[in-house]
Structure 1
Amino acid sequence: MQKITPCLWFDFQAEEAVAHYLRVFRNGRVLATSHYGETMGEHRGKVLTIRFEIEGQEFLALNGGPQFPFTEAVSLSVDCADQAEVDRLWDALAEGGSHGPCGWLKDRFGLSWQIVPSVVEAMTRSSQPERIDRMMGALMQMGKLDIAQLQAAFDGG
């Protein structure tokens, strides 16, 4: 078990959300499931938590109710190797949700994701600030990030 595990509070959609995330990401699995106990009235016997893993990162999905909806204050940032991965994850995670600016989206459960190509971080480490500024200017105009357009902006094209 990892030392720190993000807990995702769902409005009794944890099973649906975990199933969705396990379909979207190629490397994932359920690690454990717990249920509400006898003293929990109408929730007795229903799933309380699901500990799951995607791409080596453990999460805890909690069926907690409507009290605490997700906000953009917390997002999950996904490092993507290439445009094909950006495209696949963007489409799959945004299905039933909404697209946002600068590589951000909300999935159908309200959880915010950043779908970011690895090359963006590499570009931001450039010793030439004008190249970073051009790339960031292009990035700020995009929804889904386009590696070719970001590279062209970075290169001055």
Structure 2
Amino acid sequence: MPQKIVTNIWYEGDAEAAVDFYLTLFDDAKVTSTIPFIEDAHGTPGQAMVVNFDLAGQSFTAINGDNSAKHDHAMSLLVNCEDQAEIDRFWDAILDGGGKEIQCGWIADKWGVNWQIWSTQADRYVGGEDKEGAVRAVNAMYAMKKIDLQALKDAYEGA
């Protein structure tokens, strides 16, 4: 059975390039189907109108459109990383691929799609039981672009 809710992402004619890049980020990524433009559509016949793909078990659809839709931080793709090495790998790949650092673990890729490169380990600090420690961790996070798990832990523990 197909995934019930699928995230659709709009691109300005370069959906295939974006999907190709995303496939390099995840080991378990693949294109599942492509629907080309036809003669009477709003694109070049044969070019992909829609690219369906999976990343880490989640289904997505990339749509080649025009420039009428813009991405913003109101919607982002959150990647739960296991550790700092995985945070670094995703962050560096998106940044090296033309991305732009934002803050608090947010980064926009070359196409303007917003990602949150996060770790559930960080939840222990920014949402920890020690409320004063959590405040320190949150304040430390606000000063970060890429998440630094050790710095969050140090802030939480008052080190």
TM-score normalised according to structure 2 size = 0.94
Paired position in structure 1 for 2:31: 30
Is 1:137 matched with 2:139? Answer: yes
State the aligned residue count.
157
- What residue ranges of structure 2 are gaps of 5+ in the alignment? none
**Alpha-carbon separation, structure 2, partners of 1:99 and 1:124:** 21
Could you list the runs of 5+ residues in structure 1 that have no partner in the other structure? Answer: none
Deviations 1:53-93 (A, max 9, x none): 00111100000111102111111111110010000100111
Match of 1:150 in 2: 152
Q: Within 5 A, what are the aligned runs for 1:4-153?
A: 4-40=5-41, 43-95=44-96, 96-153=98-155
SS at match of 1:19: helix
> Using a 3 Å threshold, how does the CA distance of structure 1 residues 129 and 66 change in structure 2: closer, same or farther?
same
Q: CA deviation at 1:43?
A: 2.1
Find the aligned partners of 2:129 and 2:65 in 1 and give their Cα distance. Answer: 47
CA distance in 2, matches of 1:126, 1:143: 21
Cα 1:21–1:42, aligned 2, differ >3 Å: closer, same or farther? closer
User: Following TM superposition, by how much is the alpha carbon of 1:42 offset from its aligned partner in structure 2, in angstroms?
Assistant: 5.1
Contact 2:80–2:117, Cα closer than 8 Å, also in 1: yes
**Sequence identity, in percent?**
35
Q: Report the TM-score, using the length of structure 1 for normalisation.
A: 0.95
* 2:104–2:145 contact (8 Å) kept in structure 1: yes
